[in-house]
Amino acid sequence: MATGFGSALAVLGFAIGSRPIGDNSFLTHLATGRLMADIGSVPVADPYSADFAGRAWTVQSWLASAVYHGLEVVFGLRALPVFHGMLAAVLVAGIWAMVGPCRQLVTRMALATVPLVLGASYWSPRPLMIGLVGLLVVLAVIRGRLPPWMLIPTIWIWVNAHGSFPLAAALVVLVLIGSAIDGRSIRSAPWSLAGWTAAGFLGSGLNPLGPRLWWFPLRLLSSRQSLEGVVEWQAARFDSAGQLLYLALVVPLVLAARKRAGWADLVPAIVFYGFGFLAIRNLVPAAMVVVIMIAPALRNLVGSETGEQRSPVAAVLAVVAAIGVTVGLALTVAQPPLLFERYPVDAIDVLERQGLVGGSAVASVVHRDGVGNYLTHRYGRSASVFIDDRFDFYPLDRTQAHLELLDGGEFGTVLDTVGADVVVWESERGLARWLEESPAWEITYRDEGWIIACRRAGTAIDHCRG
């Protein structure tokens, strides 16, 4: 029965992960993969910005971009949701297997549910998913489910695909500390684990960008002020089902401590649980570490059913899982692979006809971050974006200007400072209402969600009216 539950959960994970992609960052990752294929190398200077083109840019996720474009070339765009669905299915199946030491079916399902519910909200189709699979592999090595040499290719892929790779080092160090406490001697720590991890990190420096990828997370954290307006970098408010479930993890954590779990398990579980309170983006990896590390201590906690017995329910679940995979793949292929409903597609069409975006752009067009990602996907090196969601790349003053336009501020002063000729903005936002009332600006286009406004005294007004 346990296998049947695991299969059903994996299908559910695939369904969650294979939804049509409407993620801002993904569009830029895909565009960068296309660019890399075009120029034959990983770019080291920004090709997308209107004002900061040529500025040094570290493409941390170059490997993910290459994979995305490779899948697009070989199988078409529809392969991209399938790829992310497969990553999500691997995560769910892996978590289910890794909480198996708790034995009892009720406890096992309760532990696996937390990262699954969080994943339904926060598994976004971006390189983050590759990093989460990397974390799962590291946990599997720590638990003895995989050989230690697996850390070398895993860490190489992780470092070159997503900036969350320091979690691997943190996890191993915490296990070493806990092991030393358990053994009352540093000599008792599993140093072979540390050795394989170090080898993985050293090997990861063999890449097109070299060791600079190692320092990227530190540079990102140094840009913390620029990230304050990004939701995933903000602390959780615990106002959703997934976040409340994360809070509830304190109960099994305390139970594991009372059952005298080893410090090699408790130290990483406690520290990662604390990580979850620092930022929303930490919730999913933290939940994975907590449930997997405390599972052995919760053995025989509730009931006697382990799910290992053969039963009609297990057979039914296996059949349901098989049907689910078939239906899920069919639905994924039938749906559009990319969703552009949240972007001003029609408004950009208008600006393109007017020669205000794309390769023939003759004006400074201001827009919000996600629109910049869409322009990058649509025009590549000809995008000339005002800003996108690479907040670690842009200077602080550009990020602050964007936040003022987005959240309310001295709109006129900001638009003058950045030299705006044209503004594309959501019609219900405060900036759009200000533009409608300002005598210095003219609304030249409007649809259900977006407006285009042109500066009356600007160089683009004739194009806007054309």
SS (H, E, C) 398-448: HHHHHHHHHHCCCHHHHHHHCCCCEEEEECCCHHHHHHHHCCCEEEEEECC
Query: How many Cα atoms occupy the beta-carbon half-sphere of 407 within 13 Å?
Result: 9
d(CA 118, CA 132): 13
Spatial CA neighbour of 135 closest among 270, 278, 287: 287
Structure tokens at 175: 């296990």
Residues 6+ positions from 360 with CB-CB distance below 8 Å:
none
Write down the pLDDT at residue 362. Answer: 73
Write down the pLDDT at residue 329. Answer: 57
Write down the pLDDT at residue 318. Answer: 53
- Name residue, tokens 């971050």: 369
Residues 6+ positions from 385 with CB-CB distance below 8 Å:
48, 49, 50, 367, 371, 372, 375, 376
Instruction: Give the sign of the dihedral formed by CA 315, CA 320, CA 323, CA 324.
Output: negative
Contact 275, 264 (CB under 8 A): no
- Name residue, tokens 């063999």: 206
Residue 255's CB: how many other CB atoms inside 10 A?
Answer: 15
Spatial CA neighbour of 440 closest among 457, 421, 460: 457
Write down the pLDDT at residue 220. Answer: 75
Write down the pLDDT at residue 394. Answer: 93
- Sort residue 103 into left (φ over 0), alpha (ψ -120 to 50) or beta: left
Q: Give Cα 209 to chain centroid, integer Å.
A: 21
Helix, strand, coil share (%) of the chain residues, nearest 5 = 65, 5, 30
What would the pLDDT profile of 98-140 be if each residue is shown by its tens digit? Answer: 999 998 888 998 999 999 999 888 898 999 999 999 999 999 9
What residue type is assigned to position 278 of the chain? L
Coil vs helix vs strand at 338: strand
Write down the pLDDT at residue 331. Answer: 60
Domain-by-domain residue ranges, the chain? 2-319, 345-465
Low-confidence ranges of the chain (pLDDT < 70): 1-2, 4, 184-189, 221-229, 302-334, 360
| Angle at 143 (CA atoms; ends 138, 146), nearest 5 degrees | 65
Give the gyration radius of the chain's Cα atoms.
Answer: 25
Write down the pLDDT at residue 391. Answer: 84
Residue 137's CB: how many other CB atoms inside 10 A?
Answer: 22
134 to 22, 140, 314: CA distances (angstroms):
24, 10, 30
Helical segments of 165-211, H only: 166-183, 191-204
Write down the pLDDT at residue 235. Answer: 86
Write down the pLDDT at residue 350. Answer: 96
CA dihedral 39, 42, 43, 47 (to 10 degrees): 60
Long-range contacts of 38-46 (CB under 8 A, 24+ apart): 38/380, 41/208, 42/208, 42/209, 44/209, 46/393
Phi, psi of 387 (to 5 degrees): -165, 155
Write down the pLDDT at residue 292. Answer: 97
Write down the pLDDT at residue 257. Answer: 94
